[in-house]
């Protein structure tokens, strides 16, 4: 893996479809873990006073959404290949897998009580030479939408780097 044609074939690969529930305990734990002391991330009254419909998740919370609120009974029943299946040909060659860049684009705040559906897709894949080594970049994007309205809430984009 690593030639341009093979990498371009990855683009458009679905990596996930997940439904998650945003719960107060995990949001509070995450906020405390990243030293986010904002009242809106801890206290429902403070969040309401600030104009929110619920406690607000910290800005980087979407990196952990699937770890906290993905319950089997909420899933669509279809087994999606996932990111690791897409990366399997790279991993088979050995080398290092690194989490590169991560970004979040908010359409509105993530709130406790939200039920979100995330659809992940590989949006870019390319290779670069660096100091005699090949570095392959695989960029994924997950759009998390409000299950009730279908409106986007947050788009998470991250880059996985494979170095061999």
pLDDT at position 70 is 81
Give the burial class of 148: count Cβ atoms within 10 A of its Cβ; 0-12 exposed, 13-18 middle, 19 or more buried. exposed
Phi, psi of 42 (to 5 degrees): -125, -35
pLDDT at position 15 is 86
Mean pLDDT by 10 residues, the chain (164 residues): 72 89 95 95 96 96 86 76 74 82 96 95 90 88 96 95 84
Return d(Cα 103, Cα 3) in angstroms, integer. Answer: 27
Rounded to two decimals, the pTM is 0.86
CA distances 115 to 63, 69, 102, 137, Å, are: 16, 9, 22, 31
pLDDT at position 112 is 97
Return d(Cα 9, Cα 74) in angstroms, integer. Answer: 30
Kindly provide the b/e burial profile for residues 102-127, where b requires at least 16 CB atoms within 10 angstroms of the residue's own CB.
Answer: eebeeeebbbbebebbbebebeebeb
Greatest Cα pair distance in the chain = 57
Sorted by where each starts, the structural domains of the chain and their CATH numbers stand as: 4-22+71-163 (3.10.129.10)
């Amino acid at each position: 893996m690593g030639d341009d044609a093979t990498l371009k074939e990855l683009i458009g690969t679905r990596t996930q479809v997940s439904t998650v529930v945003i719960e107060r305990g995990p949001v509070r734990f995450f906020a405390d873990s990243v030293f986010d002391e904002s009242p809106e991330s801890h206290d429902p009254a403070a969040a309401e006073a600030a104009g929110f419909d619920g406690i607000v998740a910290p800005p980087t919370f979407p990196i952990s959404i699937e770890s906290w609120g993905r319950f089997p009974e909420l899933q669509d029943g279809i087994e999606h290949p996932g990111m690791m299946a897409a990366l399997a040909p790279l991993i088979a060659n050995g080398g290092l897998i690194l989490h590169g860049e991560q970004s979040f684009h908010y359409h509105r705040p993530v709130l406790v009580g939200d039920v979100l559906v995330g659809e992940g897709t590989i949006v870019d894949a390319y290779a670069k030479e660096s100091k005699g080594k090949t570095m392959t970049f695989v960029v994924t994007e997950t759009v998390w939408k409000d299950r009730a309205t279908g409106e986007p809430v947050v788009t998470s984009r991250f880059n996985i780097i494979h170095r061999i």
